[in-house]
């Protein structure tokens, strides 16, 4: 009889999984808080509840996410108490409604000083965001990594938070004009606990890391036509795929020059994290010339910028032939990245701003 009941239970679970895409679980949310969440509590340290996607684009087959490697691992290694809430994994396992219930229990149980939400998909109940932001001592912080293209689309969500963090100056200024006083302009950075200079042999002259889309194939083709031996890495390129973090760090460390270009929209050209990651690994970076880069690095001394593809090819050839100049800029860029652009520094700035916001 016991074996029969077990077979029946397993059959019901399989049916529910086929129907709803997940296994129905009768355990209460407070039990799941204990069993499912990663917790690293350090007595006397500020408590951070980090909510974000564990997997790249919430897809396990693509590997782990940017937020996991940069945000989670920075906070885990920093001077904080950390509770990690992987929303994509929990939603897939228990569904959106129960995931929100687990999050609610997490906030009441751990009473974090700050809840950081790295937004990607709108899965969490909006009433819960209102409850935490308006009724509880916890200060809620939303990080909008793609604000330059989703500013209006995500408005119903970011308006619910105590602090709005954006990397886009245009979106920042737009909110300030509208009267938002709780918006903080930050920028991409890198996790210096993970992205490091390993002093590996430089076996590549020039590399590019990123998905193959938009103007990128034409840029890479043009550089090759101009005699640049550039090797692209990432999803969609011939003979390549999405790099694991280990391989990404290795490529940066093995590159004499890392080439970069930015995403552009009708309102802005947005910096991305590649400059910071590559410099954090000690690589020499040639990146697109925009005014904003001057706020973070000194062109010609810590990083090299290009106006167009002809200028890029010319500068790449020059610095490949002048090793001492390239290595001096490389060292200065690496030192500047470590001094000013780690995610540990970014989070400390965000928390200092959040401390001043009154709920």
d(CA 58, CA 234): 18
Region 79-98: what's the mean pLDDT? 96
| Cross-strand partners of 48 | 82, 114
Could you tell me which of 121, 126, 268, 122 has the C-alpha nearest to residue 185? 268
Region 318-343: what's the mean pLDDT? 98
What's the pLDDT at 189? 97
Decide the pairing of beta strands 183-185 and 163-166.
parallel
What's the pLDDT at 264? 63
What's the pLDDT at 20? 47
d(CA 194, CA 74): 8
Mean pLDDT of the chain: 92
Residue 62 has pLDDT above 70, yes or no: yes
Question: 103 near 95, Cβ under 8 Å?
Answer: no
User: Domain 204-341: what homologous superfamily?
Assistant: Glycogen Phosphorylase B; (3.40.50.2000)
Q: Where are the domains of the chain?
A: 25-189+348-356, 204-341
Question: 23 near 17, Cβ under 8 Å?
Answer: yes
Write out the H or E segment, with its range, that includes residue 49. strand 47-52
Confidence of residue 203 (pLDDT cuts 50, 70, 90): very high
Residue 18 has pLDDT above 70, yes or no: no
d(CA 52, CA 84): 8
Confidence of residue 359 (pLDDT cuts 50, 70, 90): confident
For the domain 25-189+348-356, what is the CATH code?
3.40.50.2300
Which residues are CB-contacts of 62 (< 8 A; sequence separation ≥ 6)?
Answer: 55, 56, 242
Phi, psi angle pair for 42, to nearest 5°: -115, 115
Region 26-41: what's the mean pLDDT? 93
Decide if 25-189+348-356 and 204-341 have a common fold: yes
Segment among 22-31, 224-233, 243-252 with least mean pLDDT: 22-31
Residue 17 has pLDDT above 60, yes or no: no
**145-183 pLDDT, tens per residue?**
999 889 999 999 999 999 999 999 999 999 999 999 999
What's the pLDDT at 215? 85
């Amino acid at each position: 009889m016991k074996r029969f009941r077990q077979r029946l239970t397993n059959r019901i679970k399989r049916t529910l999984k086929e129907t709803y895409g997940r296994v129905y679980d009768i355990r209460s949310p407070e039990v799941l808080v204990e069993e499912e969440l990663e917790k690293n509590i350090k007595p006397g340290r500020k408590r951070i509840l980090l909510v974000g996607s564990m997997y790249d684009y919430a897809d396990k087959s693509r590997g782990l996410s940017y937020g996991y490697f940069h945000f989670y691992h920075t906070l885990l290694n920093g001077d904080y108490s950390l509770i990690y809430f992987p929303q994509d994994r929990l939603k897939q396992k228990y569904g959106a409604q129960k995931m929100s219930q687990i999050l609610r229990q997490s906030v009441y149980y751990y009473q974090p000083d700050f809840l950081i939400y790295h937004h990607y998909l709108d899965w969490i109940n909006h009433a819960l965001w209102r409850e935490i932001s308006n009724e509880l001592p916890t200060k809620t912080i939303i990080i909008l990594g793609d604000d330059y293209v989703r500013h209006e689309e995500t408005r119903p969500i970011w308006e619910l938070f105590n602090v709005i963090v954006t990397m886009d100056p245009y979106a920042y200024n737009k909110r300030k004009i509208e009267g938002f006083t709780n918006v903080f302009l930050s920028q991409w950075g890198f996790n210096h606990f993970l992205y490091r200079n390993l002093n590996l042999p430089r076996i590549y002259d020039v590399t590019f890391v990123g998905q193959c889309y938009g103007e990128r194939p034409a840029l890479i083709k043009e550089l090759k036509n101009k005699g640049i031996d550039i090797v692209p890495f990432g999803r969609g390129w011939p003979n390549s795929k999405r790099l694991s973090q280990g391989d990404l760090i290795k490529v940066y460390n093995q590159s004499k020059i890392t080439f970069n270009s930015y995403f552009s929209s009708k309102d802005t050209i947005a910096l991305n994290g590649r400059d910071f990651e590559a410099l954090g690994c000690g690589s020499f970076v040639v990146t697109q010339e925009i005014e904003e880069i001057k706020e973070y690095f000194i062109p010609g001394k810590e990083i090299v910028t290009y106006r167009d593809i002809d200028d890029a090819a010319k500068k790449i050839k020059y610095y490949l032939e002048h090793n001492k100049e390239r290595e001096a800029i490389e060292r200065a860029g690496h030192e500047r990245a470590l001094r000013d652009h780690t995610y540990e520094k970014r989070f400390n700035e965000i928390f200092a701003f959040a401390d001043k916001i009154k709920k």
